[in-house]
């Protein structure tokens, strides 16, 4: 029986992919390396270490990952100020889950600073959730199940009692590996690519009732 919902952040609660990609391109530009936004697509959902590190490897460019992240987040924070809003259906879905007495958590591969920037800019307080987990809290990122196992543990549940809401292939794989049920949102990948999910919808606005009623 469902007792909790674990939300990925990017592509689920907010669409910030455009901005983090632009911020990363600008960070590399300031490093003297011209990269493209599409270079980052293979690393979506895997955390900023891999997101930036993977592209650096592609261009044979050595970076100090912590310094690179700090620079990218500074650029990102300026870019998104006043430009982010919750994705369609997010607030209503959260309210519906709360009305059913379900516990809620955010489980994002992003670092805490990006999680905090996003939640602040979409007007959803961190207090909305019973717990949060960010990429700095787990060594093995998605597609490994560690982040969802930790999120479930933080809200006092087993992964098998949780619905994970994800938009990335690696996230869906992580959810299923953890033993959770999964709702896949086709905000970043196609339904075919997210076929491992138990349910698939365009956004949380048209999520099937069954995903909160098993």
pLDDT digits (tens, 9 = 90+) for 64-80: 999 999 999 999 999 99
- Can you give the pTM of this predicted structure? 0.89
Listed by start position, the domains of the chain span 4-14+84-212, 17-80
**Whether 10 is catalytic:** yes
By CB atoms closer than 10 A (0-12, 13-18, 19+), residue 179 is middle
**Whether 15 is catalytic:** no
Look at the alpha carbons of 154, 157, 163, 168 in this order and tell me if their dihedral is positive or negative.
Answer: positive
Look at the alpha carbons of 108, 17, 54, 182 in this order and tell me if their dihedral is positive or negative.
Answer: positive
**Mean pLDDT value of segment 186-206:** 96
pLDDT digits (tens, 9 = 90+) for 78-113: 999 999 999 999 999 999 999 999 999 999 988 899
pLDDT, position 191: 96
CATH number of 4-14+84-212: 3.40.50.1000
pLDDT, position 126: 82
Across the chain, mean pLDDT equals 95
In which band, very low, low, confident or very high, does the pLDDT at 17 lie, cut at 50, 70 and 90? Answer: confident
> What is the fold, at CATH topology level, of the domain defined by 17-80?
DNA polymerase; domain 1 (1.10.150)
pLDDT digits (tens, 9 = 90+) for 125-166: 889 999 999 999 999 999 999 999 999 999 999 999 999 999
Q: Are 131 and 105 within 8 A, CB to CB?
A: yes
How many angstroms separate the Cα of 136 from the Cα of each of 54, 58, 108, 177?
Answer: 17, 24, 10, 20
**Mean pLDDT value of segment 193-206:** 97
pLDDT, position 139: 93
Q: Are 113 and 136 within 8 A, CB to CB?
A: no
**Nearest alpha-carbon partner for 171 in 192, 204, 147:** 147
């Amino acid at each position: 029986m469902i007792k909790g919902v674990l939300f990925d952040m990017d592509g689920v609660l907010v669409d910030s992919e455009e901005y983090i990609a632009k911020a990363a391109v600008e960070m590399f530009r300031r490093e003297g390396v011209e990269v493209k936004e599409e270079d980052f697509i293979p690393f979506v959902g895997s955390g900023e270490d891999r997101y930036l590190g993977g592209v650096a490897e592609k261009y044979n460019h050595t970076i100090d990952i912590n310094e690179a992240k700090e620079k990218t987040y500074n650029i990102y924070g300026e870019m998104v100020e006043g430009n982010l809003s919750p994705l369609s259906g997010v607030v209503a879905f959260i309210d519906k889950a709360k009305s059913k007495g379900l516990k809620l958590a955010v489980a994002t591969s992003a670092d805490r600073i990006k999680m905090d920037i996003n939640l602040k800019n979409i007007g959803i307080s961190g207090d909305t959730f019973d717990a949060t987990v960010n990429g700095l809290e787990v060594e093995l990122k998605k597609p490994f199940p560690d982040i969802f196992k930790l999120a479930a543990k933080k809200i006092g549940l087993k992964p098998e009692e949780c619905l994970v809401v994800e938009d990335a292939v690696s996230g869906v794989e992580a959810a299923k590996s953890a033993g959770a049920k999964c709702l896949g949102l086709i905000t970043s990948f196609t339904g075919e690519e997210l076929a491992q999910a138990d349910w698939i919808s365009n956004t949380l606005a048209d999520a099937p009732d069954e995903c909160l009623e098993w």
